[in-house]
Amino acid sequence: MDHCLRGIAVAPGAAVASLAWLDRSSDSAPAAFSPPTSPSSQREWLAAALSECQQAWSELTSTLRTRGDHDGATIFEANVALLDDPGLHGLVESYLVSGHKVTHAWAHAVNEQATALESLDDPLLRSRARDFRDLALEVQAILEGRSAVPLTASIPADCILVARRLTLPDAMRLDTSTLRGLCLVEGGGSDHVAIVVRGWGIPVVVGVPGLDASCTGKNAVLDGDAGVLVVDPNPRMLEQYQGRIERMQRFDLWARTWRRDPAVSRDGQPLKVYANVSAPTDVDATLGSGADGVGLLRTEFLCVDRSTLPTELEQTAYYRSLSQRLGKRRILVRTFDIGADKTLPYLALPPEANPALGCRGIRLALTRPHDLLFPQLRAILQGFAGNTARILLPMVSMLDEVVQVRAAGQAILEELDRVSVPRASAVEFGIMVETPAAALMIDRWADEIDFLSIGTNDLTQYVMAVDRGHTELSGLADAAHPPVLRLIDRVAKIARQHDIPLGVCGEFASTPVGVALLMGLGIDSLSVHPSAVPRTKALIRSLEREQVTRLARAAIDTHSVGEVYELLRQELDSDLWRDLLRSRPAPAMATTVDTREHSPYDQ
Amino acid sequence: MKTVRLNVLDRIGLHTRTATAIARAAACFEADIWVTNTNGKRADAKSPLALMTLGVKHGGEIELGAQGADADAAIDKLCTLIREF
């Protein structure tokens, strides 16, 4: 009899497989283990256990860094450092001195410290306390003679893993190549573990009650879109899900095979698909993904993990190497988009009540031109020597901002020419359309702008007046709301009239709903995460420009986002699109420097 | 002994990252160093866990104190560090 359990959807997709319960507490001490007894050997035992754990954790941190997850690595290191806390060790010592065994001393000292953090009623601290306890448990395991059983040994291949919870170190140790899905009893969507697992590409659902070891071996359907686990599904449901999974697999294979070809709609209309590059590691991914170019080069990563701003020389070297690797492909370089909410301590930016509405992006650059604006402009103009430099300005809300940057750019070009330094053969300036001001004024600004890129994430935030990181109101932070579509439509019309290339680089551009509507509104290009390029091209190829144009016009005329989705479901009713529309948009990939108010890497 | 009052400007106050940074810097000094919050609760500056339990939020005021041979240097170093948050 099928048993349907509801939880919180964390990562999209569907899987049909047998369940395997993960139970770490069953790791038992080998019979021959006898712990040391004298106080000095107890201390040595603890030191040895700590050292072994530190070694393993430092390997995990390196893995995170090589994967490009610097934020994750930094926070993991900070958590690990807590285990060296002198207060903690002082407590352990006092337990040892009063005659307790080290296993007891460690457990109780950890518990006292963790409870002190939890008692402050601060959810972030509670989350930290849990991470602290998890790490301490690994030390505890060694103290009790339980060797850490390698996780992969205890998990069968091709299963849906079920557990009460997953510690961050365990999540990082899992061999995900044969894992079909993950289901946790505890947890919420924004835990650290949730962030890590989203990048795995398998369905993940958390907060599913009523599961325990007895579920092992049972057949199940895990639906990462609806947030549901169905144990022992009936044949009809199995058939439906299996059909869906097979269609998606065929679609993904088709997308991967043809990713290098230009994306052309079923009725012959081309649409360019570019990649968003956030860090040097993305360049390889971009080249392999089939992207037609770089629709957004985020430059903030040049500023993180250091104690001073990058110099003109450093920046020039980077832009030059990028320009060489990507050749004549179109590259839009966005100048530093930083503000008070980004953790760049060396800039000593005064705190703001509303960083999303504060001094950031081009505003900040214009208040600090000598350290933020000029060096970057000079570096871009030199780095792209022999090519066209396309400079994209973030957070523009006044024409004067563009005019000033153009003037500065012109002065720099003249100076470089005067001293015969090689520089870009052509220069274009474009703006991010992310403020409502920009969207409303494009017609008047057209003469000063060479290209446009709509940042749907921020634009939606400002138009719908919702914090894009807000959990309860996340339904408002959706670009499919008619007011946002109307603004995009307006910008698209004006861009066409003035022959200005128009792209979209927000999360919306890689979702099925977004691709359909944006194509229908007449956008020239989409810029997405490198891993989403093949799929985005495939989505374009599955649509007819004429049909989505009609769809978009109708969507703009609706009263609400609900009507928009209804229209999409009615019009796009192929088996493929029925499956695609069932999926929620994939959550944003964590970037190194993130504009969200509540970064998942908050400590 | 030397004490100084300052505000913690980091967006989320004294949390893992900032607490660990302070503890690491404080560990280099011989002096006893402590941090007191506006409720009068005191924490050893060399203990990140203790610092975190002070519950200091963005903009919160703390009193930094040190006693010992290198107390002055310790205070200076930590003030610079905290001001850069």
Chain A residues within 8 A of B10 when measuring between CB atoms: 345
Q: A255 CB near a chain B CB, below 8 Å?
A: no
Q: A390 CB near a chain B CB, below 8 Å?
A: no
User: A512-520 and A575-582 are packed helices; what angle lies between their axes, rounded to 10 degrees?
Assistant: 110
Which amino acid appears at position A448 of this protein? E
More confident residue, A410 or A31: A410
In this prediction, residues A121-133 reach a mean pLDDT of: 82
Q: How many CB atoms lie within 10 A of CB B61?
A: 12
pLDDT for A71 equals 66
* B-chain residue closest to A129, CA distance: B49
The ipTM of this complex is: 0.83
User: A545-556 and A512-520 are packed helices; what angle lies between their axes, rounded to 10 degrees?
Assistant: 90
pLDDT for A55 equals 86
> Range with the lowest mean pLDDT among A115-119, A374-378, A469-473?
A469-473
More confident residue, A166 or A114: A114
Phi (first) and psi of residue B63, to 5 degrees: -115, 125
Q: A113 CB near a chain B CB, below 8 Å?
A: yes
Q: How many CB atoms lie within 10 A of CB B37?
A: 20
Query: What's the pTM?
Result: 0.71
Q: Do A87 and B24 touch (CB under 8 A)?
A: no
Could you tell me what percent of chain A has a pLDDT over 90? 52
Residues 83-102, chain A, touching B (beta carbon < 8 A): 85-88
pLDDT for B20 equals 87
Residue A601 has pLDDT above 60, yes or no: no
Report CA Rg, chain A. 27
More confident residue, A262 or B14: A262
Residues 6+ apart with CB under 8 A from B19: B48, B49, B51, B52
Q: Kindly indicate the confidence band of residue A188, based on its pLDDT and cuts at 50, 70 and 90.
A: low
Q: How many CB atoms lie within 10 A of CB A271?
A: 24
> Range with the lowest mean pLDDT among A107-116, A122-131, A332-341, A507-516?
A122-131
Q: Kindly indicate the confidence band of residue A452, based on its pLDDT and cuts at 50, 70 and 90.
A: very high
Q: What is the DSSP string of A371-389?
A: IIIHHHHHHHHHHTBTSEE
Candidates B24, B55, B85; nearest CB to A122:
B55
Residue A592 has pLDDT above 60, yes or no: no
Q: Using the 8-state DSSP alphabet, how is residue A424 labeled? A: B
Q: A305 CB near a chain B CB, below 8 Å?
A: no
Preferred mutation among B24, B33, B37, B53 to probe A, highest tally of A CBs within 10 A:
B53
Q: Which of A100, A359, A505, A529 is catalytic?
A: A505
Place of tokens 């890497």: A601
pLDDT for A74 equals 75
Q: Kindly indicate the confidence band of residue A598, based on its pLDDT and cuts at 50, 70 and 90.
A: very low
pLDDT for A544 equals 96
Q: B17 CB near a chain A CB, below 8 Å?
A: yes
pLDDT for B7 equals 84
Q: Do B12 and A603 touch (CB under 8 A)?
A: yes
More confident residue, A486 or A476: A486
Q: Using the 8-state DSSP alphabet, how is residue A370 labeled? A: I
Kindly give the residue spans of alpha helices, DSSP state H, lying in A428-574. 436-445, 456-463, 482-497, 512-520, 533-541, 545-556, 561-571
Q: Do A82 and B48 touch (CB under 8 A)?
A: yes
Sheet holding A204-206: strands in order across? Answer: A3-6, A228-231, A219-223, A14-22, A159-163, A179-184, A204-206, A8-11
Distance from CA of A374 to the nearest CA of B (A): 24
Q: How many CB atoms lie within 10 A of CB A544?
A: 16
Q: Which of A100, A159, A192, A481 is catalytic?
A: A192
At A566, list the tokens: 């209804």
Reported in sequence order, the residue ranges of A46-171 that DSSP labels E, i.e. its strands, are 159-163
Distance of alpha carbon A157 from alpha carbon A41, whole angstroms: 41
pLDDT for A164 equals 87
Distance from CA of A42 to the nearest CA of B (A): 23
In this prediction, residues A185-206 reach a mean pLDDT of: 74
Q: B52 CB near a chain A CB, below 8 Å?
A: yes
The model's pLDDT over A78-99, given as tens digits with 9 standing for 90+, comes to 888 899 899 999 999 999 888 8
Residue A25 has pLDDT above 50, yes or no: yes
Preferred mutation among A192, A596, A603 to probe B, highest tally of B CBs within 10 A:
A603
Q: Which residues pair with A502 in a beta bridge?
A: A452
Residue A72 has pLDDT above 80, yes or no: no
pLDDT for B60 equals 85
More confident residue, B30 or A304: B30
Half-sphere CA count of A504, side-chain side, radius 13 A: 34
**SS3 (DSSP) at B56:** coil
Q: Using the 8-state DSSP alphabet, how is residue A350 labeled? A: P
Half-sphere CA count of A46, side-chain side, radius 13 A: 22
In this prediction, residues A270-294 reach a mean pLDDT of: 90
pLDDT for A376 equals 97
Distance of alpha carbon B65 from alpha carbon A275, whole angstroms: 51
pLDDT for A70 equals 66
The model's pLDDT over B3-32, given as tens digits with 9 standing for 90+, comes to 888 888 777 788 888 898 899 899 999 999
Residues 62-81, chain A, touching B (beta carbon < 8 A): 74-75, 78-79, 81
pLDDT for A542 equals 95
Q: Report yes or no: B4 and B75 within 8 Å, Cβ to Cβ.
A: yes
Q: Which of B2, B15, B42, B58 is catalytic?
A: B15
Q: Kindly indicate the confidence band of residue A374, based on its pLDDT and cuts at 50, 70 and 90.
A: very high
The model's pLDDT over A344-363, given as tens digits with 9 standing for 90+, comes to 778 878 878 788 888 999 99
Q: Do A351 and B15 touch (CB under 8 A)?
A: no
The model's pLDDT over A430-446, given as tens digits with 9 standing for 90+, comes to 999 999 999 999 999 99
- Residue A192 a catalytic site member: yes
Q: How many CB pairs (< 8 A) connect A and B?
A: 68
Chain A residues within 8 A of B7 when measuring between CB atoms: none
Q: Do A351 and B17 touch (CB under 8 A)?
A: no
Chain B residues within 8 A of A600 when measuring between CB atoms: none
Distance of alpha carbon A27 from alpha carbon A29, whole angstroms: 7
Which amino acid appears at position A592 of this protein? T
Average pLDDT over all residues of chain A: 86
Q: A413 CB near a chain B CB, below 8 Å?
A: no
Residue A148 has pLDDT above 60, yes or no: no
Candidates B9, B44, B85; nearest CB to A87:
B44
Q: Do B48 and A85 touch (CB under 8 A)?
A: yes
Nearest to A322 by CA among A335, A333, A311, A308: A333
Q: Report yes or no: A251 and A40 within 8 Å, Cβ to Cβ.
A: no
More confident residue, B70 or A40: B70
